[in-house]
Structures are given as C-alpha cells and as structure tokens.
A and B are shown apart, each in its own frame.
Chain A
Amino acid sequence: MTRYGWALTALGLMGLVAFGMHAAFSSVLLVEWEVVGAAGAVLVALGITLDRESLLRWAAERGARATAVSSLSLLTALGAVIALNVVAQRYDKRLDLTGSGRFTLSEQTVKVVGDLSEDIEVHAFFTAGSPEEAKFRDLMEGYAPLGSRLRFTFHDPMMEPTAAQQFKVTSAYGTVVLVAAGEGPVEGRKQQRLESNFDEEALTNAIVRLTSGKDHTICVSSGHEELDPDDEQQAAGMGISVLKLEGQNYTFKPVVLLREGGVPSDCEVLIVADPQVDWLAPEREMLAAWIASGGDAIVLLDPGHAQGLATDMARYNIAVGDDFILEQNPNYQLENGDLSHIILDRASFDFHPVTNPLKGGLILRVARSVSILDPEASGLKAQELARTTMNSWAEADYMDAAKVGYQEGRDRLGPVSLAVIVEVEDPSVIPVGSRALSAAPSERAPLPVEAPPAAPTPAPEPGDPALGEVLRGPERAPVAPPTLKAGAKLVVIGDSDFLSNELVDNFSNQDLLPNLLAWMVGEEAQIAIRPTAGGGGTFTLTLVQKLMIGLLSLLVVPGLAIMGALQTWRSRRSR
C-alpha cells in the first residue's frame, strides 16, 4: 500500500484542482463538487501519510532544502506577477501613440462627460469579437476615465436575446442604447440610440441629447393608406423606425388632418409617408398653411402614388416627377436586385447636416425624381440632397413594362435628384387658400371627404407653363390665412421604402429619419468632432512595383543572409 502513496497524492491533487476550477468558473457551487474537493484533500493527506518515509528521506538529501526554497521563490514570484497584473489592469492608463491622435478624445467630449450631473447607462449590443465591438471598446476605454457617470455594459444580442428584446435591438451589426440611470423599466426612462455610427461624435452628441434634449411630438399623417407607424411586423410598415425613435425624446402621434382641421399645434414635424390615396385639396391647403406658419414636414412620395399631392409640391418650389428611376451603374445596385434598387453613397449626397453623418449610405427601392423647380426662386431656399449616378435615368413610361427603356426627350438622363430640402425664408411666397375652415370640429363646414381625389396631373418642369397654373391653384380649397412665420423646413423624398420595416436596417437607412428629425427640431449634432479614423492613405501597386517589391523581399534581402551563411561555411572549411 505504501508504494501507492504517490498515486493517491496525485489523484487527490487532481480532485483538488478540479474542485478549484469549478469553484472559480461556476457561479453555483454544487454539492457533488464539494465532495470531489473533500475527497481530494483526504487522498492528499493519505498519500503524504503513506509516503512520509520516502518524503523524509528526500528531505534529508543534499539540495532538497534548496529545491524547496527555489520552488517557494518561484511560486512567490508568480504570485507577485499575477498581483501586479491585476493591479495594473485595475489602474490601467493608456498612451495614444498615433500621430493623428486617433484614440485621444476631443476637449468637447472631456467637458461633456466631466460635467454630467446624472448617471447614464450605455448598453452596447455587438457580436462578441466583432471589429465593431473592438472599435467601440477602444472608444469606451477613452470615455471610462473621464468620469464615473457613464456605465458601459456590453451585450451580445445572440447570447442575450432577452436584453436585446428589452432594448428593442433589431440590427445584427450593432446598436448602442443610452439610458438615463434609474429604477423601473427601461421604456419609462429617457433614451438615445446609435444604430450605425458609433464614433466619438455620435456618442457625445447622444449624451448631450439625452441630458439636455426636450420632448418632441412628431405627427404622422394617416387616413390615406400611408406606411403604418404602429406596424412592426409587415414589410411595408414603418413601426421599426418609429420604435427606435420612441423613447428617445420623440413621441409619434397619428393625425387625420381633415378630422383635426389642420396640423395640430403640438406637432413639431408632420410626416407624410407614402399616401396611396391622394390628398384632397383642403388637406393640401392645410399642409401649405402649416408650412407657411413655420411648421416642418417630411413628405415621402413613391412613384404613382398621391399624384395630386406630388404635383402640389410645386408651390414649395419642388418638382416631383411622375416617373421612376432606374440605376444602371452596377456599383450602385443591390447585388441580385433589379435596376429599381438604388444605392446612394457619400458621392451621391450633397453636403448637409442630414446627409453628412450617413457613412453607410442608403438603399432605396422604386423611387421617383424630386428636384428643384426654380433654382432662382426667392423666399424658398432649396437644396437637392441626393442624386443618382450618370448611368441612371428617370423612366416616364413606368406603367407600361413594354415601354421601359431610356427614350431621349421623354426620359430624364442621370444624375437624377431624389430628395429636396426647402427652408422657407419668406412664407408669403407660399400660396395658401383664402376660405376659412371652422376652428372647432362641431362648427366646421362639411368637407368634401367623399369627393373623389383630384385626377393626377403631370408634375410641371422648370419653365413649364403649367407651373403658373399650379401656383395660382384654381381648385385650391380655402383655409384660414395662416400667421406667416419664416423658418419652416420641408423635405420631399421620392421614396418611402427606405423607412419600411423591410429596408430600414440596411445600410444607414435607419439614420436618415433621426437625422431629419434632429435637424428639424434643432437637435442635430450639437458638437462637431473631427474624424480620427485610421490614416495613412491608400495605394495600389503597379506591375513594376510588384516585381520590384517581390525581388527585394524574396531574393535580395534573403540572398544577403544566404551569402553570409556561405561565407561562414567557407571560412570554417578553410580553417
């Protein structure tokens, strides 16, 4: 039995190590493992007892004491190194070695985070180990030492589906949710979200908005088969877009203009998302009155829908084409998509606070042209936001598949403008009807709600005589003259699919509506931070350069070392 003492000791040690590992890595200490640990201790004690004579003999040998001291020293050194590493991890400092200061946060960020008076939870949803996660971790490490008010938590949406559901995370590429710290459900607390841009500027601005932003009411026009803001399931709904914005500081409210007698006064922005049934004349007048009185609006018009409303955009100096755009440039088409899928990138956008942050571009589907009617028009400052490539065209015969194809003189060759933004400098230039609608619904005169929608008329082009007709508006229904106020912002986009549940999580689509709303309510990026992305430029190699580098790397430099080897071999032989 005595000769098996070492085996018992070894078995006991294995049991102890297994128990130790279980205790270290498991949150619950199971009884079975406690038994393993106890049995291991007993076996070690038994083994040492059985082996005590050989141990004593070893201890009496020369060097045994030195070996023991050496082992103890090594264990002590190992312990000291581990302890040092733990301390270094806790009090880690970092030094940015890059020439561009890529990892150094701006002074604005330092001030914003340093001045925080409330705690903020930052929940970062990234796939563990993804490059996006690594980048955000680097950024987070910069923020962490600035103050203890920010509390970062990383989640892998695949591993923590409950957390992803709780924070309404739908994107697979990363979402960062900032929540005001506090008790109770997350829904009841102030929130800000980052969906595709996770750089310092975006994060710091989200902090600023969370701590200082006021609540905004966004009205969504309904009653004309528009995209449903409450539908998060169907591909054609826009519920996901709304879901991401609700709880930030936006509240969405569906409105039926005819029922309300106009755009309600508590609305800050009116969204008209692809009405499939055309607007009636009084509704168009209500929109005009709203804009002339300083209200902001976002109008999304898909090809073939609400042609009356599309034509009416002329009064705001916007021409909405009765066409749809086809893109032939393969670099701006969706892979396996048809010509009606249009990708817009930075080269497609004009410089504007709304489009500047759209780093990932946009994808649109079946879009119509939207352009400035008269670039010289006074009182309405217009800017085209995005254009397609030179290889695209606006197809006029889109209702007849057999006729689809570029026809000179009939179709418009690219670049074709898709979105126009108008800032009203002089509201008096917007024609608004004169007959008043009654203020209270009970007193309101019967409105022609049953009347058929106005027959679609083609959009006037700049210089078209029809333009005057539109502006005079013979069929314009009268509304109360609005109190004119400059500063209204109107955006018209020839597509609404980018906002739909189906496409909103692609490219930077999810950022366009938040950018538009933030710009309209005056909460666009309040802090501008210079980009500190990787530098160094890019290069491509010519064939000669490739050959030269190949020769240098694979022949010249190793050849010198081979010559050294040969020289050594020869000199050793000659000795």
Chain B
Amino acid sequence: MNSELTATFAIARRELESYFATATGWLTLTGFLMITGFFFVLTLNDYSNYVMQASVSPYGGEGATVDEALVPGLFGNWSVVLLLVIPGISMRIFSEDLRQRTFELLLSSPVSSGAIVAGKFLGALGFVGVMFAATLYQPAVLYALAKPDPGVLWGSYAAMAALATCCLGVGMLASAYTANQMVAFILSFSSLLLLYLLGWVGEMAGGGPLAAVGEASMLSHLDQVGKGLLHTEDVVYFLGFIGLCLFATQQRVESFRWR
C-alpha cells in the first residue's frame, strides 16, 4: 500500500513538473490569468458604475452589495473560462504518453493502473491548484475595497474548484482514449459542453422529467455553493462525478494490459 502511495505521488510530481518544464504549461497559465484578470477588471468596472448609478436612483440600491452583485458575476465568467482551459490541460495527460509510446513503459512498471490514474490526476490537479492560487490577488483586492462575506467568496472559489476537478476528470478520460491531443481536447470540450447544455435544458424545462436531466449537469450544482450554501446533494454529486471519471479512466488504462 505504501509503495502504491509512493508511486502515486511520484507520478503526480512528475506530471506536475512536466507542466512547468514546457512553455505550453506556462502559456496556459498565462492565458488563464489574462482571461480571468480581464474579466476581473471588467466586472469590477461594471459593478462600480452600477453602484454609482444605484446611489442616485431610489430603487437601484437593492441587491447592489458585493456579495449579491459582484461575486456571482465574477465567478459566473470563470465557469466558461474553465470549460476552455481545463481540456487544454487534460488533453496531454495520457495522449502524450500514448503518442510517445512511453505508456507501455509505465504499464510495465510494478504500479497498478489505479495508482497511475490517481498520480496523473493529482499532478494535473496540482497545476490547476497553482492556477487558482495565482488568482488569489483578486480576493485580496476585494477585501481591500469591501468586506465580502467569506462564505460567499470562498464558497464561489470552492464551486469553481469542484467544477475544474470535474472538467479535469472528463478531460483525463478523453485523453485515455486517443493518442492525438487535439482529438482529446475536442472530445473533452464537446462532452463538457454537452453537460453544460444539459443544465440549461433543465433550467428551461422549469419542472418535470427534463429538470431531472438538468440535474446531471455540473452547472446546476454550482449556484448554491456559490451563494455560500453547501448542500450534501451537491457534495455527493461532485464526489460521485469525479469518482466515476477516475474509475472509467482506470478501467480504460487497465484495458491496455489485456492487449
């Protein structure tokens, strides 16, 4: 068990280092920071103008607080950014090894497929963690300007982290099916887009069986956490979703051993 864990962390470290060993990883990080930074500036400006207008209008002040009008809008943009960025990170997880034929080496090592999947997932997750950590200046700016509710602010961060982890799970599964990184990207992006759309289908349905279809989407489980309200059903959904993706990937990796 110990050796499995050691192997898992060794793979995770190697995976994480590989992101920073190439300019691609850094450029992905730069792109993410540029886009989220752009949205941050834009949202803050919009919010500032909105508050200014609200201050001279008898009814505009309702719901103009940072928690209600700024934080949800800020992180609402993130969900779209992550839809594009995460497949870019996950596309190389297995595809790169498959393309370079180093995957057989990994399989021939005395490491279980579970440890390989977990290690690679943790490595990619570490890179996403670095990406998120690099945006911490944004809450710092918000705290300097106002007093956002920690539950709302960090709840929104947690919601985005859960979304990113789910996207990573889907992306890793897609990457295990092809040696072509571009195909892996398109596969994971389209799968995630479909999951997003399911959420909108559920919203449009209003009620009834189609609303249950919407429950399969990650988006429908983000709203509440973003407001600072943690539901056990959302926790179960995210854990189940990630677990299922990891299990499916492990089954796929295991299938390489049968051939």
Identify the A interface with B (CB < 8 A): 24-25, 62-63, 66-67, 70, 73-74, 77-78, 81, 84-85, 88-89, 91-100, 102-103, 128-129, 134, 138, 154, 156, 159, 331-332, 343, 345-347, 359-361, 533-541, 545-546, 549-550, 552-554, 557-558, 560-562, 564-565, 568-569, 572
In the complex, A568→B150 CA distance in Å? 37
In the complex, A519→B251 CA distance in Å? 69
A100 partner, pick from B52, B54, B149, beta carbons under 8 A: B149
**Which chain A positions have C-beta within 8 A of B258?**
62-63, 66-67
Q: Interface size (B, Cβ < 8 Å)?
A: 80
Instruction: Looking at the assembled complex, report how far the CB atom of A383 sits from the nearest CB atom of chain B, in whole angstroms.
Output: 22
In the complex, A422→B23 CA distance in Å? 77
A359-B62, A534-B67 provided; 15 other pairs, C-beta below 8 A? A67-B258, A97-B150, A97-B151, A103-B228, A134-B223, A534-B66, A535-B149, A536-B148, A536-B149, A537-B66, A539-B51, A539-B146, A552-B141, A558-B34, A558-B37
A535 and B58 within 8 A (CB): no
Identify the B interface with A (CB < 8 A): 20-23, 26-27, 29-30, 33-34, 37-38, 40-41, 44-45, 48, 51-52, 54-59, 62-68, 70-71, 134-135, 137-138, 141, 145-152, 154-155, 203-204, 206-210, 215, 223-224, 227-233, 235-237, 240-241, 243-244, 247-248, 251, 254-255, 258-259
Q: Which residue of B lies closest to A569 (CB)?
A: B23
In the complex, A343→B60 CA distance in Å? 13
In the complex, A345→B60 CA distance in Å? 11
In the complex, A480→B23 CA distance in Å? 98
A81 and B231 within 8 A (CB): no
A360 partner, pick from B59, B230, B247, B254, beta carbons under 8 A: B59
B237 and A553 within 8 A (CB): no
**Which chain A positions have C-beta within 8 A of B254?**
70
Known A536-B152, A558-B34, A564-B20; judge A84-B240 contact (CB<8 A).
Answer: yes
A562 partner, pick from B26, B52, B59, B204, beta carbons under 8 A: B26
Closest 5 CB pairs of A and B: A565-B26, A553-B37, A536-B66, A97-B151, A345-B58
A557 and B229 within 8 A (CB): no
B228 and A558 within 8 A (CB): no
**Which chain B positions have C-beta within 8 A of A62?**
258
Q: Which residue of A lies closest to B135 (CB)?
A: A557
**Which chain B positions have C-beta within 8 A of A553?**
37-38, 40-41, 137-138
10 A-B residue pairings within 8 Å (CB atoms): A94-B229, A97-B230, A98-B149, A102-B149, A134-B223, A347-B58, A533-B65, A535-B147, A558-B34, A565-B30
Known A25-B210, A538-B51; judge A92-B23 contact (CB<8 A).
Answer: no
**Which chain A positions have C-beta within 8 A of B63?**
533-534
Instruction: Looking at the assembled complex, report how far the CB atom of B20 sits from the nearest CB atom of chain A, in whole angstroms.
Output: 7
In the complex, A140→B56 CA distance in Å? 33
A74 partner, pick from B134, B148, B248, beta carbons under 8 A: B248
Known A557-B137, A569-B23; judge A85-B44 contact (CB<8 A).
Answer: no
Q: Which residue of A lies closest to B209 (CB)?
A: A25
Instruction: Looking at the assembled complex, report how far the CB atom of B258 sits from the nearest CB atom of chain A, in whole angstroms.
Output: 4
Instruction: Looking at the assembled complex, report how far the CB atom of A356 sits from the nearest CB atom of chain B, in whole angstroms.
Output: 15
B66 and A538 within 8 A (CB): yes
Q: Which residue of B lies closest to A134 (CB)?
A: B223
B251 and A73 within 8 A (CB): yes
B141 and A549 within 8 A (CB): yes
**Which chain A positions have C-beta within 8 A of B230?**
94-95, 97
A128 and B251 within 8 A (CB): no
In the complex, A88→B236 CA distance in Å? 7
Q: Which residue of A lies closest to B66 (CB)?
A: A536
With most chain A CB atoms within 10 A of its CB, the pick from B58, B71, B243 is B58
B240 and A99 within 8 A (CB): no
B229 and A63 within 8 A (CB): no
In the complex, A63→B240 CA distance in Å? 28
In the complex, A134→B65 CA distance in Å? 17
